[in-house]
Structure 1
Amino acid sequence: MMKKIYLLAVALAGTLLTSCSDFLDKVPLVVPSSETFLTNQSAVTNYVNGLYIALPSAGAYGMGIMGEEKNSDNMVAMVYDRRMNGELQESIGGVTEWQKGYQNLRSVNYFLEYYKVPAAEETAEVLSLKGEAYFFRAYWHYYLLTKFGSIPVMDKFWDGNATVGGLQIPARDRSAVAQFILDDLKAAKELLYSRSKYQGLRICKEAAMVMAMRVALFEGTWEKYHKGTDFAAAEYKSDDFLQQVLTLGDELFQMGITLNTKENDKSVKNIDDAYGNLFNSKDLSATQEVLFWKKYSIADNLVHSLNTNLSSGMCDAEGPAGLSQSLVDNYLSVDGNFIDPTAAKFKDFNESFKDRDGRLLATVMHSDCKYKSMTVKGAKKMLVKAYSEEDKDLINPPQIVSTGNQSNTTGYHIRMGIDTTFVSGQGETATPMIRYAEALLAYAEAAEELGKCDAAVLEKTIKPLRERAGVTYLAPSAIDPNFPDFGYTISANLQEIRRERRSELPLQGMRLDDLMRWRAHKLFQGKRGGGAYFGAGSVLYKSIDPKNEELAQILVDNNDYLDPLKNVLPRGFQFDAGRDYLLPIPPSEISLNKELTQNPGWRKN
């Protein structure tokens, strides 16, 4: 049904500045013609620096890593993800990803092929750079594994303009691909410096270990939950991969790494600060939890536009979007209990944030944040707080009805990563790339999947994450009746581990891979993501300026919750569980390489 409400038209013009270059943003070097090029530390350093360019970042203009979240149930975007709706075409559905992965592998393999530094000159620094190259080769093979499954492994440089297909290299079974990646990460680990050398600004030993845990967890759980389907590995090694997660974790836990907490972060004042500071700080060099991060600096002429975009209301650079109600409902109360999202009090926007996990407050805009202007007026109740437009800390609330990508679809806008002191177009907030928290989550999940997750495991993994967020730790004992249905039974332990993962890792490029490896299409297939309650008496934001009212149409579901995709996707997402778990291999590659076969469910040319 349609609800008529009054809204204020709010506009904020943002000036965007392009991101300038440091070693993470330089265009990759043109492949040199001389095989003697990589013979000294200077040449090796310059080349490896160029490999960082392709990694995810805050983005010069768009939303960067955060914007990727619309491919999951954490965000509701009007320009929705076509894969989630089963709209990809075989001819073009995987072309961009295939080319991106193998082009980057070619650059890395050039380095490994023509690295010719004499043994006498292989200093620890040179060897660490070589370790970075092994990391990048693992990274891009993993990128391809998550998207295509069984793929040709590129363990050497190929010359000229040869394509992967033209080389007639057969795809290795996904299990073998995963092990190749882990072997590369092991090689990297043995060569890399520890984090302390570069304070997390370069790939380090600890980051490689967490990356290896990510890979092993992905493959181990993929093989378990896709067993017996067309997406299964030819050789089932789930337990082997999950055990590798535990082995790596046991070693990592002995390295003295700590989470960011109020004990070691003296700037922490509120329940959400210890977590929130990981994403809205400019310098993470002293933050041990962040093992690898990207720095931005006006002084270095390297900035991003994320603050401008977030403060204008943007969640997705391509169109209106907002964080989902299901993400908000995932967070616990501070007493450690799960909430009942059907309770009447949660129809009040402000009640949704009271006495909740601090990570919810750090991730989603709420009424204790300072806003520049309002969204809702009229029949809706208003907050009593009002702020001066001269307050430079103010930022815009979600604009439920607006034009372009500044419109919010759900009432839930992103707070994570906002620095209220920024100058328009000159964002300096750092981008965390790999965090120690991920290792804790991976360890707990692998242990539970192996039947080894006892109280001691949970107390060294899940407990510190919850306590950092101001949540009382309670040992899992009951099944949450409102927890999302995966289509199969999960234990109380696994429920809380998956909840914790979603609470800790939103807007960080993790959720889609989690949904795919868990075979979790039941969470979104035939469904649409929704937003906040918008019925009579709902509370949203305080008006500052009552001028410029306009009548607007708001889509809600039968229970008066925002349902922005109601008309666009009347049947919900039409994800094809027999096909869409993997992207199609480009038909042109299959035509060139007779050793390749198309992924399940995609028609052969």
Structure 2
Amino acid sequence: MRTIHALYIFALILLLGACKKEDFLDRFPQDAISDPTYFKNENDLKLYLNRFYDALPVQRGNNEANSDNFAQGNRNTFLAGEYVVPATDDNWSYAGWANIRYVNYFLQRYNRAEMDAALKNNYAAEGRFFRALFYWDKVKRYGAVPWINTDLTDTSTAILFGPRQPHKQVMDSVLADLNFAVANAAEATNTQFAGRITKDVALALKARICLWEGTFRKYQALGDEQTYLREAVTASETLINSGRYSIYKTGNPQKDYYNLFIQEELRGNKETILAMRYIKDVSMHNLTRQISDVWPALTKNFVRSFLDKNGVPTALSPLYQGDETLDKEMIDRDPRFSQIVATRGFSFTNNPNGTRDEMTLPRIPGVVTGYAAVKNYSPDPAQWNANQSTLDLFIFRYAETLLIYAEAKAELGEADQAVIDKTINKIRERVGMANMVIATLVKDPQSIFPTLPVLLDEIRRERRIELVGEGFRFDDLLRWKAGNLINNAETILGMKLTPALRAQYPTNQVSNVQVDANFYIRVYPNIAARTWNDKMYLFPLPTNELTLNPALLPQNQGW
């Protein structure tokens, strides 16, 4: 023991001596960001903000297992009513709030940069764009949350342990951030900001958030929805009137929609407002591999929502051939049907030697509903290698902006034929689908929104088809207060597997596939339907956080 103490004393003497030499311990770090020496120029601001770009909401064609569009083999525990209040939640943890802290840190310091004020504000606009995005995600999940817009330090007791602010109050602050971003972000034509947050990107996010908030306030009876619906119209209309964007089409209506989502380069594509670019051996992803490993399975409920190509619901259309087989079900349907759902002749693999793996029968049980979603799936084997796909993915797509404009105008009672012609019908033109004509619309007797006016009903249908898989559907159910659509038995059913069709498969391949009394595949044989509970419009706060910070109480209703 005495020897150890002697060594400690000797080490301490050496350490104190080193401290005196050139005041070494008072020097700023040489290999990391140091507050007093950073935020001095444009490059500092740009590099700091780069950390947030990976958090942008990339749209993936298999991103809606939490909705009525998909029924995967493994049940979604939240929709199954099996989610319990957790002790901890990564979305509320220290890491879950990190990006908001980092943005606030930036916004307190960016003004130090020695540069033109307008250029400096471009980067402040980026910061506030991201704060708006991050806070919107918190509100969607939890409702009321603490609003933090200053630095968090080791003495920030009031902030760290402060109460939640009401949903509407937080979203009004989100709108203020969005307005700042739109007013100060760089113009989309400024090549210096190519691939970064520009005014157009800020407008796209503003349109998305304001439509969500306006309709949420309306259907959840919070009130004051008009302001947000009007802001959604203004933001989307500004993008439309810019003339910079249009619906991608090459004159091939049977392929253009499918091909849009398997492109190596979306830069220059006029439907792209912002895309995540991937480059071989630099930045790659795993989406095609994920799709082929666990195939996203569309529900009967979703597939039934396709109109016939004449624009008429199947329940009213003389073109509809029924659904005894998938071959019949696709006849004369919306041309997007066979570009979203794998049908006979779809090639799963285009081999380098020219051979193809073409679909004949639906690939059950690998695709548990029989309806295989092929959006974002590439038949090129080079895209299947783990984490080596180089297909670009959308973040903001112009078709969504058109749908936002149409829906917001309809919610305001202002959607006339001119609005539909420059939105819905521009989207349908890509695939050669019949135009929507307001005067001839007839309410679908099988509508999932039986009390909704027919125009708004059909706009929602168009949104469901065009944006399927891109991650919007659960948010849509929340804002429309339509969670009870999950109760529909068809949201966990697949295609018809009649005895005649079953006989075409090897017995061991389909022997365990169960069907209901009408021969529709039952994805979860132990339940007849999922059950929605209105508490599920919000997630619960984790119990550990409520224990540590009683100011966060009460817990979200029903939990």
Q: How does 1:525-604 map to 2 (within 5 A)?
A: 525=487, 527=489, 528-538=491-501, 552-567=511-526, 570-577=527-534, 579-603=535-559
Whole-Å Cα distance in 2 between the matches of residues 250 and 157 of structure 1? 36
Q: Determine if contact 2:219/2:479 at 8 Å carries over to the other structure.
A: yes
Task: Tell me the amino acid that sits aligned with residue 194 of structure 1.
Answer: E
* Alignment counterpart, residue 287 of structure 1, candidates 269, 272, 289: 269
**SS of corresponding position for 1:247:** helix
* Alignment counterpart, residue 464 of structure 1, candidates 426, 448, 459: 426
Q: Determine if contact 1:216/1:242 at 8 Å carries over to the other structure.
A: yes
Q: Deviations over 1:171-193 (max 9, x none)?
A: 22212222211211111122222
Paired position in structure 2 for 1:306: 287
Whole-Å Cα distance in 2 between the matches of residues 574 and 74 of structure 1? 16
Q: How does 1:114-133 map to 2 (within 5 A)?
A: 114-118=109-113, 120-122=115-117, 124=119, 126-133=120-127
Whole-Å Cα distance in 1 between the matches of residues 52 and 457 of structure 2? 38
Q: Deviations over 1:581-603 (max 9, x none)?
A: 10112233333334322344345
Larger relative contact order (Cα-Cα within 8 Å, sequence gap ≥ 6): 1
* Alignment counterpart, residue 328 of structure 1, candidates 299, 303, 307: 303
1:370 aligns with 2:347: yes
Whole-Å Cα distance in 2 between the matches of residues 453 and 516 of structure 1? 23
Paired position in structure 2 for 1:208: 202
**Deviation at residue 416 of structure 1 after TM alignment:** 1.1
Task: Tell me the amino acid that sits aligned with residue 531 of structure 1.
Answer: G
The number of equivalent residue pairs is 518
Q: Deviations over 1:114-148 (max 9, x none)?
A: 22444544563x54333221111011001111111
Q: Determine if contact 1:221/1:518 at 8 Å carries over to the other structure.
A: yes
* Alignment counterpart, residue 86 of structure 1, candidates 81, 102, 120: 81
Q: How does 1:466-505 map to 2 (within 5 A)?
A: 466-476=428-438, 477-484=441-448, 486=449, 489-505=451-467
Task: Tell me the amino acid that sits aligned with residue 115 of structure 1.
Answer: Y
Q: How does 1:84-233 map to 2 (within 5 A)?
A: 84-92=79-87, 95-99=89-93, 101-118=96-113, 120-122=115-117, 124=119, 126-160=120-154, 167-197=160-190, 201-227=195-221, 233=222
Paired position in structure 1 for 2:5: none
Paired position in structure 2 for 1:8: none
Q: Deviations over 1:477-515 (max 9, x none)?
A: 21111222x4x6101101111001101111111000001
**SS of corresponding position for 1:595:** helix
Paired position in structure 2 for 1:14: none
Whole-Å Cα distance in 2 between the matches of residues 602 and 144 of structure 1? 19
Change (3 A) 1:195 1:314: farther
Whole-Å Cα distance in 1 between the matches of residues 555 and 32 of structure 2? 32
Paired position in structure 1 for 2:50: 49
Q: State the structure with more CA Rg.
A: 2
**Deviation at residue 223 of structure 1 after TM alignment:** 1.4
Q: Which structure has greater helix proportion?
A: 2
**Deviation at residue 472 of structure 1 after TM alignment:** 1.0
Task: Tell me the amino acid that sits aligned with residue 412 of structure 2.
Answer: L
**SS of corresponding position for 2:326:** coil
**SS of corresponding position for 1:532:** strand
Q: Which moved more, 1:269-278 or 1:327-336?
A: 269-278
Paired position in structure 2 for 1:522: 484
Q: Deviations over 1:441-490 (max 9, x none)?
A: 11211122222222222222211111222111132421111222x4x610
Whole-Å Cα distance in 1 between the matches of residues 73 and 376 of structure 2? 23
Whole-Å Cα distance in 2 between the matches of residues 46 and 350 of structure 1? 53
Whole-Å Cα distance in 2 between the matches of residues 218 and 51 of structure 1? 22
Q: Determine if contact 2:321/2:328 at 8 Å carries over to the other structure.
A: no
Q: Determine if contact 1:349/1:540 at 8 Å carries over to the other structure.
A: no
Task: Tell me the amino acid that sits aligned with residue 71 of structure 2.
Answer: V
**SS of corresponding position for 2:90:** helix
Whole-Å Cα distance in 2 between the matches of residues 34 and 393 of structure 1? 58
Whole-Å Cα distance in 2 between the matches of residues 455 and 91 of structure 1? 49
Q: Deviations over 1:318-365 (max 9, x none)?
A: xxx511122222222222222239966322211222332232222221
Task: Tell me the amino acid that sits aligned with residue 89 of structure 2.
Answer: V
Q: Determine if contact 2:40/2:114 at 8 Å carries over to the other structure.
A: no
Q: Which moved more, 1:174-183 or 1:345-354?
A: 345-354
Whole-Å Cα distance in 1 between the matches of residues 338 and 39 of structure 2? 49
Whole-Å Cα distance in 2 between the matches of residues 33 and 580 of structure 1? 43
Task: Tell me the amino acid that sits aligned with residue 498 of structure 2.
Answer: G
**SS of corresponding position for 1:185:** helix
Unaligned runs of at least 5 residues, structure 1: 1-29, 59-64, 228-232, 263-267, 316-320, 373-386, 402-406
* Alignment counterpart, residue 339 of structure 1, candidates 307, 314, 321: 314
Task: Tell me the amino acid that sits aligned with residue 500 of structure 2.
Answer: G
Q: Deviations over 1:224-282 (max 9, x none)?
A: 1112xxxxx3xx211221111122233222211332333xxxxx353243322331101
Task: Tell me the amino acid that sits aligned with residue 132 of structure 1.
Answer: E
Q: TM-score, normalised by structure 1?
A: 0.79
**SS of corresponding position for 1:531:** strand
Whole-Å Cα distance in 1 between the matches of residues 76 and 97 of structure 2? 23
Task: Tell me the amino acid that sits aligned with residue 417 of structure 1.
Answer: N
Task: Tell me the amino acid that sits aligned with residue 72 of structure 1.
Answer: S
Q: Deviations over 1:512-559 (max 9, x none)?
A: 000111111221126342111110333999x9xx8x965632111110
Q: TM-score, normalised by structure 2?
A: 0.85
Q: Deviations over 1:411-433 (max 9, x none)?
A: 11121112323413121111101
Change (3 A) 1:210 1:34: same
Q: Deviations over 1:37-94 (max 9, x none)?
A: 1111221121111111233448xxxxxx4443110011101222222122222234x7
* Alignment counterpart, residue 261 of structure 1, candidates 248, 251, 254: 248
Q: Determine if contact 1:341/1:482 at 8 Å carries over to the other structure.
A: no
Change (3 A) 1:392 1:114: farther
Change (3 A) 1:439 1:57: closer
Q: How large is the RMSD of aligned CA atoms in angstroms?
A: 2.9
Change (3 A) 1:539 1:277: farther
Whole-Å Cα distance in 2 between the matches of residues 33 and 395 of structure 1? 58
Paired position in structure 1 for 2:27: none
